[in-house]
Chains A and B, each alone.
Chain A
Amino acid sequence: MEHTSLFYSTVDPAPPGFQRVQLSKRHLLGGTVVVLVRSLEELRAVLPDFEQRMRGVVLLRQADGASIDRPPPEQALGPLLWLLAAPADRWGEMQAWLAGLLSAIDRACTHEEAQRVALLDNDRLRFELGRVRDDYNRVTSKLQKQVNELTEAKALLESWNEQLEVKVTERTAELARSRKLASLGSLMAGFAHEMNTPLGNALLSGTTLGDEAQRLETDLAEQRLKRAELESFLQMCRETMDVIHRNLRRAADLIHHFKHAEGDVGSEPLQRFSLIDVVQDAVTSFDPSLRAGQHEVTLDIPATLELESYPGALGQVLSNLLSNALRHGFDDQLKGRITISAQPRADDQLALQFADSGCGIPSGQLDKIFDPFYTTKLGQGGSGIGLYLVYKLVYRVLGGTVHVWSEPGHGTRFEITLPRKVQPAT
């Protein structure tokens, strides 16, 4: 706002350039003014705190003939209010004389107001900064609290983790024991089932033979025994003994296979051999079945690939995989394809793949096929020992691993990884 400069007088007549007025607050505060009054009390009557609020010059009458005088600075009326005294005969020249002074006061007013604005803006900024500082402290405090909570939570978690580890170890051991017991139960059930048939047959044949011998003994005591009956009995003895022998042999074979599967490699020595020879031997032993089904076997094995391992065990693995493919994979299907391939790996291992184009294995059965006595051909020649034997021989005897991938309708693939040199301790 531009300041206006006005000259007022309560003295009558007013000097030239002065306006004669009845003083009001508006006159005193309406701008930067020069007010000619008889005494300061005239101003105080209108505006009690005029010294602080007025801007300009208060002009008082001085004795005629005196020089225009300004009171010393310490007697200045207010921050922007000057007091001058002049004799009445000099009032006529006062307007021109004071114009420059009023202009300077105007500029001082402007600066003072700018300074006030700056100070108030500064106060506002200080207030806002205070809020920001409070927020900073609050956020810092909260963050510190959260860090403490997190530290405590971390310690608690670590403690829980340790307890959990202990529990997991305990539970794992319990689970392993449970599985072992379950596996043993399953094993015993399967083993009993498999042994039951030949031993039952042998027992039944023996009992029948015993009954017939007792009847013959009675006839002999009563002298009713005829030569023909004796000859018939002897024939029966031969036939029955044959049945008993075959069944006991089958039971013995089962026990033998089972012992072998449990890692009893017997007296087979560790030896260096060509992988292709072992594979070809295994395939050759299945020639009749392969020919009968018009199945095709493709071998993709480097002739130079040699192993220092147990060829007999490896041969059994291959025989069981071939048997499994023919019995389960191809079933009644003709013209199946079997591919056996092998590649040496950089880590002194050997990757051996056995894949058939058979019917595949449903996903629900895949995780059971290596279980002992698990078979889908119970009573149809399946013993459930074949793939169990494969698993045990690969892991226990040959020191390798075996995995299976299969999808119904898209064949089955076994991936066997074997060390090319088996450590004797294995």
Chain B
Amino acid sequence: MSQSNEAGDTGPGHTGPITAKSTHSLASDPYRAGIELGTALAELQPELVLVFAAVDHARNPELLEGLYDALGRRDVIVAGNSGDGYFVPGQASNLGVAALGLTSHGAVRFRVASATGVQDEPEDAVRRCLAQLKEQQREAPSLYFLFSDFRTDASRIETVVRDEIAVPVIGGLAADDNQMQQCYVFCNDQILTNHVVMVAVEGALNFDISIGNSLSPVGSAGLVDRASGTNVMQIDGLEAMAFIERETGKQVLQTDRGVLALTVTDSDRRDEKILRAIVPDFSVESGSLGLYGSIHAGKHVRVCLAEPEQLIGEVYRIAAEARSRHFEPAAAFFVSCNGRKWLLGEQIRHETLALSETFGIDLPLIGFASFGEIGPLKAADGGYTRNLFHNMTYVLLLIGQARSG
């Protein structure tokens, strides 16, 4: 099942300031929450609304029904997913739902599409999604958003967005409240599972992408001897879990979510750092490690340990660096690994505080805690690397004013 539509189609050459507004609701009734979001955003007359909800809200179709009812328009593109909570200015919440409305006044056009089958054939699902967007395309996109069910091999999504899409793709995997049982993606008024949803932004949108992934490698590198899908069975002749224990001195624990990751030391490209977080829930008694993305046999890996101070420091650094580039954002969107949230606890608020303190509390922003992030790294030449799938990262998109011409 697929669907697509577009918004902001007022024709090329029509430019205006990007305006945005973010809001959220803790209302327990999903419809009421949707109404509250829509009511708050209606005046903006948004072309695109990004919605991120705690899983309890996300599963109920009345959420989007309420949103549309309150917006009073059916041509608004809605996209997003469930997350392990969401971020709005100044706070991180485990409950409720948040939305960011964007209006470009015709400067750019938004198109949305979804495709099913991401669990079994992720490459195919992403390609079908792209094909739908291309069918309607009038202008080359400058940016894509991508939201996917987390029950997939995200490395296979990566192969498409990395090798077949030349412009940045920002997004991540939907999540739940750490139970790793269910998740939902939103495409307009539909709440979907086993789907990937993509939004194409056609036209010259001014944006700035930064990714924080500063985890410290420890110990020595090991050779991945056996791996299958998102599971690594054997490293350096040891069961993968035993390898982690060898390098860190401790066994892999359930609470290691957000603490442990593997980095590929012989990546094909030096500027493309690859981190794969270990999913204790997917790691099994046999000693194999479950990851949020695959690492192939033959690669060398090192264990990375996250340090809270380092994670907090990097979000402030990223905001300060964006500021130093004189980038004036109209809105911010970020995807943060839920492992960071697990590790930082209450301190995860710094990921939104860093932006509010740097750009002002009035900056509309939204974010969600994901089970995997997608985005390009900054390249040495000032541009961006290919689109990559990450873990344990903080992927920030600052949306600025549209470029003239």
Contact = CB atoms under 8 A, between A and B. Distances in A.
B218 interface: no
Interface string A121-152: 10010011001101100110010000000000
A26 B70 contact: yes
B205 to A, nearest CB: 30
A324 B254 CA distance: 78
A1 B26 contact: yes
Nearest to A138: B253
A128 B69 CA distance: 37
A129 to B, nearest CB: 10
Interface residues of A, number: 22
Interface string A1-18: 100000000000000000
B29 A53 contact: yes
A66 interface: no
Residue in B56, B70, B179, B253 whose Cβ sees the most chain A Cβ within 10 Å: B253
Interface string A106-121: 0000000100110011
A113 B27 contact: yes
A25 B28 CA distance: 16
Contact of A132 (B36, B65, B94, B255): B255
B363 to A, nearest CB: 20
B254 A134 contact: yes
Contact of A29 (B31, B95, B250): B31
Interface residues of B, number: 27
A30 B35 contact: yes
- Give the interface SS of chain A, mostly helix, strand, loop or mixed: helix
Nearest to B93: A117
B255 A120 contact: no
Nearest to B35: A30
B6 to A, nearest CB: 26
Contacts of A30: 32, 35, 39, 70
Interface string B1-32: 00000000000000000000000011111011
A29 B253 CA distance: 44
Contacts of B56: 120
A25 B31 contact: yes
B177 interface: yes
A365 B254 CA distance: 66
Contact of B27 (A1, A24, A121, A131): A1
B251 interface: yes
B339 interface: no
Contacts of A132: 254-255
A76 B27 CA distance: 22
Contacts of A138: 251, 253-254
Nearest to B65: A25
A26 B178 CA distance: 32
B26 A113 contact: yes
A131 B255 CA distance: 6
Interface string A51-77: 001000000000000000000000000
Residue in B29, B32, B69, B177 whose Cβ sees the most chain A Cβ within 10 Å: B32
B66 interface: yes
Contacts of B31: 25, 29, 53
Contacts of A142: 251
Residue in A29, A113, A127 whose Cβ sees the most chain B Cβ within 10 Å: A29
A2 to B, nearest CB: 9
A61 B226 CA distance: 75
A143 to B, nearest CB: 10
13 contacts: A1-B40, A26-B35, A29-B32, A29-B66, A30-B35, A53-B31, A53-B32, A117-B26, A124-B177, A127-B178, A127-B179, A131-B254, A138-B251
Given A26-B35, A26-B66, 8 more contacts: A1-B25, A53-B29, A116-B28, A116-B95, A128-B178, A128-B342, A135-B255, A139-B250
